[in-house]
Structure 1
Amino acid sequence: MSINPMGKVPAVRHGETIVTECAAICAYLAEAFPQAGLAPQPDERADYYRWMFFAAGPLETSVMLKALGFEIPQERLRMAGCGSFGDVMGTLEKAVSAASPYITGNRFTAADVYVGSHIGWGLAFGGIEKRQAFVDYFGRLAERDAYKRATALDEEAAKAMQAA
Structure 2
Amino acid sequence: MTPRDAQAPDFRHGGHLHEPTQYEAGGRLKPRPWPVGPSESHGKVDFDDGEGKVVFTLYVQRGPEEEYVLHVEHLAAPLRVNGTLLRLSPAPRVDRDAAGFRRITVARSAAVKAEAELDAAVSAARANGDSWEVIGAALGTSVKIARERFGHAETTAK
Do they superpose with TM above 0.5?
no
Q: Which has the higher contact order (CA 8 A, sep 6+)?
A: 1
Which TM-score applies when normalising by structure 1? Answer: 0.25
Judging by fraction of residues, say which structure has more strand.
Answer: 2
TM-score, length of structure 2 as denominator length: 0.25
Larger Rg: 2
